[in-house]
Structure 1
Amino acid sequence: MSNFPFAIVGFDLDGTFIDTAGDLTAAVNETLTFAGRPTLSIAQVETMIGGGAKHMLTLGLEATGGCTPEAFRPLYKRMLAHYEAHIAVQSRPYPGALEALDRFDALGVKVAIVTNKFESMARKLLGELGLLDRFATLIGGDTLGKGLSKPHRAPIDAMIGRLGGEVGVTRTAFVGDSIYDMMAARNAGIPGIAVSFGFLHQPIEELGADAIIDRYDELIPTLQRLAA
Structure 2
Amino acid sequence: MNAHSPLPPGAPSSGSIVVFDLDGTLAETAGDLIGTLNVILAREGHAALPLEQARDLLGAGARALIQRGFAVAGASLTPERLETLFQDFLAYYGDHLTDNSTLFPGVVEALDRLESEGFRLAICTNKMESHAVALLDALGIGHRFRTIVGKDTFAFSKPDPRHITATVERAGGDPTQAVMVGDSKADVAAAQAAGIPVVGVTFGYTPVPMRDLAPDWVIEHFDELPGAVAALVPLAAVKPAA
The alignment's TM-score, normalised by the length of structure 2, stands at 0.87
**What amino acid maps onto 2:10 in structure 1?**
N
1:173 paired with 2:179, answer yes
Q: CA deviation at 1:71?
A: 3.5
Query: Residues 21-64 of structure 1, C-alpha deviation per residue, up to 9 Å, x if partnerless?
Result: 01001101111111110111112221111111000010000100
Could you say what secondary structure the match of 2:148 adopts? strand
Does residue 77 of the first structure (1) align with residue 84 of the second (2)?
no
Which residue of the other structure, out of 53, 63, 66, is the alignment partner of 1:57? 66
Q: Aligned to 1:198, what secondary structure does the other structure show?
A: coil
Instruction: Please list the CA deviations of residues 120-155 of structure 1 after superposition, one character each: whole Å capped at 9, or x if unmatched.
Output: 11112112222211111111111111xx10111112
- Looking at structure 2, the residues matched to 212 and 178 of structure 1 have their Cα atoms a distance apart, in angstroms, of 12
Q: Would you say the 8 A contact 2:202–2:209 is kept in 1?
A: no
Q: SS at the partner of 2:47?
A: coil
Which of residues 208, 212, 215 in structure 1 aligns to 2:218?
Answer: 212
Cα distance in structure 1, aligned partners of 2:206 and 2:185: 9
Contact 1:144/1:155 (8 A) holds in 2? yes
Query: How far has the Cα of 1:90 moved from its partner?
Result: 0.9
Q: Secondary structure at the match of 1:47?
A: helix
Match for 1:14: what amino acid? Answer: D
2:30 corresponding residue in structure 1? 21
Is this contact kept in 2: 1:11–1:176, CA < 8 A? yes
TM-score (norm 1): 0.92
Residue identity over aligned pairs, in percent, reads 39
1:108 pairs with 2:118: yes
Q: 1:154 aligns with which of 139, 144, 162?
A: 162
Q: For structure 1, list consecutive stretches of 5 or more residues without a partner in the other structure.
A: none
Q: The residue matched to 2:191 in structure 1 has which SS? A: helix
Please point out which of 32, 42, 47 is paired with 2:51: 42
- Show structure 2 runs of 5+ residues with no match: 1-7, 236-242
RMSD of the alignment, in Å? 1.6
Distance in 1 of aligned mates of 2:25 and 2:228: 16
Larger CA deviation: 81-90 vs 156-165: 156-165
CA distance in 1, matches of 2:41, 2:71: 11
Do the aligned residues in 2 keep the contact of 1:16 with 1:195 (CA within 8 Å)? Answer: yes
Number of the residue aligned with 1:141: 151
Going from structure 1 to structure 2, the CA distance change for 1:122 and 1:63 (only over 3 Å counts) comes to same
